[in-house]
Structure 1
Amino acid sequence: MGLPVINITFKRLANDAEQKSQRGIVALIIKDDTDKTFTTKEYKNLDDLSTDEKLYTASNLQYIKDCLKGSPGKVIVIRINATDGNIQDAFTIIKSMKINWLGCAEGVQADQDAICTFVKDQEELKKTYKAVVFKPTTPPDCKQIVVLGNEKVTFKDNARGQVTGEKYISRLLGILAGLPLSMSSTYYVLDDLATIVEPTNINTSIDSGNLIIINDDGVIRIGRGVTSLTTITDDDTEDMKKIAVVEAINIMQEDITTTFKSNYVGKYKNSPDNQVIFISGINDYYKTLAQNDILDADYTNTCDIDIEAQRQAWIKAGNSEATTWKDADVRKNTFKSNVFIKANVKVLDAMEDMDFTTILE
C-alpha cells in the first residue's frame, strides 16, 4: 500500500515548498567569551532574543539582530570562544543540525576559507548547506557558496558607520534564508545601508562569482543574486549561478531524499513495481511544483529509471549479458538495493532582465 502514502507525502511537500523556502534556518557562528555556559541558542524573532541580550558582546548581539531582520525561519547561534575557539568545533555542531545557510560574524580570512572547505566537503556528501563568505583566499567556484564582493559598506546608524564586508554577512544570511522561491535577491533593497564601496567593474565582478551590492539611483540594492559558481559542467549548469535556482534545486533534493528515507527505505522490496511507485510520486511532486510556478509548467518535468546507470551496475558486477539487454530488460532487473533515477526538470528563474524595444512610426 505504498503509493497513497508516498504520493500524499510528495503532494504536501510540493505545496509547502514555497512557504518552506522562506523559513530557511541560519547557523550564525560567533566568537564570544561573554558567557561560556552554552554553545548554541535558537531565535525565531527579536522577542526570543530579548531575554538573552546579556549573553553577547554588543557587536555580536547586533549581528544576531541583523540576521533576524531578514525574517528567516530560525537563527541558530553557534558560539565558539573568542580567545581559543576553533571554527571546526562549530562545523561539528552544524553537521548534527538541519540548517540551510551558514556564515561567520566577523570571521577572519582563515574562517572564510574554512567555511568554503566545509560546504564543499558537505556538497560531496550530497548535503545542501549554503554559505555566505567574504574575501576567501581562493574563489570557491561553488553553487552552494555566495561571496560578498563589496570591500566596505556604510550603515545608516552612526554608531556603526562604515565597516568591512564581513560585518554584513549576518544581514545577508537572514535575507537569503527569508526569501520565498517566488522571489530572487536581485535588486533587493538594503534599507539599513547609507552607501557602499562598489568594485571598479561591477559586471566583471559579478561574472567572476561575486554578489555585489550596488547604489542604484540613491537606493542601495543587491545587484544580482548570484552564487560563486563560474565553471560550467554537465552537472553544474549556467542557471546554477543564480541563488534562487539553487534554492529550488536544494529543496527538491531535500524533499525527495527525506521522503525516500522516511517512506521507502526498508519498507519495500527493491522490485520494479515499487520503483515505479516511487518514481510516480516524484513525478506528481514535479507537477505540483509546476502548478506553484517553481518548475516551468511548459516543460516536461519528469524522472525515470536511469537505464544506463542500472545497466552499467550489472556490467561492473560481472554480468556481461547486461550489455545486450533491451531497455525493458534493464528496467525489470533491479540491482541489489540500488534505485537509479534520472530527472530532467526546468526551474523557473525570477524576472530580472528586460529588453524593451520601442518602435516609433
Structure 2
Amino acid sequence: MAKLGMPSVNIAFIEAGIEAIERSQRGIVALLLEEPQDTITKLLTDHKITSGTTSTDVAAITNPFTVYTTDDIPAELTDDNRDYITKCLIGYTKTPYRVKVYLQATNETKDSAEDKFADTLKILATDRWDYLAIPSIATAQLESVATWLKTNRENKFKKSKVVLPGYSADYEGVINFSNTTIKTKAKSYTGAQYTPRIAGLIAGTPMTISATYAPLAEVIDCDKYSLDENDEKVNKGEFFVWYDGEKFKMSRAMNSLVTTTQGKLEAYQTIKTVDVMDMMYDDIKKTAQDSYIGKYTNDYDNKQLLITAIGGYFKELEEGRLLQKGYSTIDIDVEAVKTYQLEHGLYTKDELADMSDLEIKKLDTKKKVFLTAKVKILDAMEDIELPINI
C-alpha cells in the first residue's frame, strides 16, 4: 500500500525552499540599544513594548518591538537611537526585512563590565534574527559578546551573526567592522556607532549577490589607508568602508575567520556563503522537526522519502541561483551506517564487507538517520580577469 504521508513531507520541503528564496532577499537585524529607565517605563506603559512580568527591570522585558519603516520608530527614543535604527533601515539593494529593537536600561556604572549586556542577550538567544549590532558596546564587552555568539552557534545551533567594531574574533559568525571613524554630513560616528548601518547593509543584501563594494552614499569621510594596507586588512578578516577616489564603499565582504581548517576552508570566510549555509541549516532542521521527526517509522522507504524531500529543497535553491544547478546530491551515508552497526555489535566487519551498499542502506539504525549531502554554494562575481591581446 502506498504511504499516505509522502506528499506532505515533499510539499513541506519544497515550500521551505520557496520560502528560502523569498527570505534570501532580505534578513532580520537585531539592535540592542540602551535607553533611560523612564523611557523604557513609558514605552511599557504605552504598550509599545511588552514585559513578561509587571516589573520594568531590563531582565523582564520581552523585547523586541519591531520596526519595518521609519514610521515605526517611537518618538520617545533618544536622537541617537532613532538615528541608529534609521541607518539600519537604509540596507543595500533592499532594506532589511525587519529590525527588532531590544532595549535595556542605561547603567553607566556597568559601562566597563564584561557582562553589561548579559541579561538582554539571554532574551535575544530565544528569538529569531540574522545580524546583531550593539552601537554602545565598549572594548570590555567585545570578547564576551563574541563568545556568547559562538556558544549559541556551536552548542545551541542558533545560526546568527554579530557585527562587532574592531574585534578580530577569527570566527565566521563575527563580522569585524574595523573603521574607527565614519563621517556623514550630519555627524561623526565611531566604529561601534556605525555597526547598525553595516548590519542593515548586510541584511539588505540578497543572497544572490554580495556586499562587496556596496556604496555608502551618506558617507563623506572615514579613516583611510593605502591600497596595500586595504589588502592586508581584508586578509586579516576585516570588513570596512574605504574611498576609491570617487566614492565611499565597502571592502570585500568577509567575516573575521582567518584561520582555515579541515572542513572549514575559504568558503567559510565570505559573508554570502555563510549566510546561505546558515539558511539551509535552519530550514532543513526546522522542516524536518515539523514534518518528519516522530511522524514516520525509521525504515528504508521512509528514509528515501526524507531524501527525496530534502532533494526537492536543494532543487528549489538551485532554481533560485543560490546553489549550482545539477550538482546537489543527498543519500544515506553508507560509512556512517557501517560504523553504527559495528559500535552496537549488530554486524561484524566481515559481514558488512560482504554486503552491497543497498543492503547496508536498508539496515536498521533504530532512531538514527544517517544522511550525506553535497552542494555547491554559488558565490558572487568579485574578481574579474581579462587579459587583452593587442
| Same fold? TM cut 0.5 | yes
Deviation beyond 3 Å, 4+ runs, structure 1: none
1:334 & 1:147 partners in 2: Cα distance? Answer: 47
Q: Please state how far the C-alpha of 1:356 moved relative to its aligned partner.
A: 1.5
Instruction: Tell me if structure 1 keeps the 8 A contact 2:216–2:249.
Output: yes
State the partner residue of 1:347: 377
State the partner residue of 2:28: 25
State the partner residue of 1:295: 323
Q: Give matches, 1:139-288, under 5 Å.
A: 139-157=168-186, 160-161=187-188, 163-199=189-225, 201-288=229-316
Flag structure 2 segments of 5+ consecutive residues without an equivalent. 45-60, 111-115
2:344 & 2:365 partners in 1: Cα distance? Answer: 10
1:53 & 1:322 partners in 2: Cα distance? Answer: 70
1:101 & 1:323 partners in 2: Cα distance? Answer: 51
1:255–1:82: structure 2 CA closer, same or farther, 3 Å change rule?
same
1:287 & 1:323 partners in 2: Cα distance? Answer: 38
State the partner residue of 1:315: 342
Flag structure 1 segments of 5+ consecutive residues without an equivalent. none
2:350 & 2:163 partners in 1: Cα distance? Answer: 46
Q: Please state how far the C-alpha of 1:322 moved relative to its aligned partner.
A: 5.4
CA deviations 1:9-67 (Å, max 9, x no partner) are 22222223232023311111112215233542211111111xx121x221112111111
Instruction: Tell me if structure 1 keeps the 8 A contact 2:16–2:287.
Output: no
Q: Please state how far the C-alpha of 1:320 moved relative to its aligned partner.
A: 5.0
Instruction: Give the greater-gyration-radius structure (CA).
Output: 2
Is 1:65 the counterpart of 2:86? The answer is: yes
2:28 & 2:236 partners in 1: Cα distance? Answer: 27
State the partner residue of 2:72: 48
Q: CA RMSD in A?
A: 1.8
User: Aligned residue pairs: how many?
Assistant: 351
Letter of the structure 2 residue corresponding to residue 119 of structure 1: L
1:167–1:333: structure 2 CA closer, same or farther, 3 Å change rule?
same
Letter of the structure 2 residue corresponding to residue 294 of structure 1: L
Q: Please state how far the C-alpha of 1:211 moved relative to its aligned partner.
A: 0.6
TM-score (norm 2): 0.85
Instruction: Tell me if structure 2 keeps the 8 A contact 1:301–1:346.
Output: yes
Letter of the structure 2 residue corresponding to residue 130 of structure 1: K
SS at match of 1:203: helix
CA deviations 1:237-295 (Å, max 9, x no partner) are 21121111111111111111111011001111111111111111111211221122110
CA deviations 1:325-347 (Å, max 9, x no partner) are 13333311232212122111101
Q: Please state how far the C-alpha of 1:111 moved relative to its aligned partner.
A: 2.3
1:131 & 1:238 partners in 2: Cα distance? Answer: 20
SS at match of 1:342: strand
Q: Please state how far the C-alpha of 1:236 moved relative to its aligned partner.
A: 1.4
Instruction: Tell me if structure 2 keeps the 8 A contact 1:143–1:246.
Output: yes
Identity %: 28
Letter of the structure 2 residue corresponding to residue 17 of structure 1: A
SS at match of 2:260: coil
1:278 & 1:105 partners in 2: Cα distance? Answer: 43
2:270 & 2:214 partners in 1: Cα distance? Answer: 14
Instruction: Tell me if structure 2 keeps the 8 A contact 1:315–1:323.
Output: no
SS at match of 1:35: helix
TM-score (norm 1): 0.92
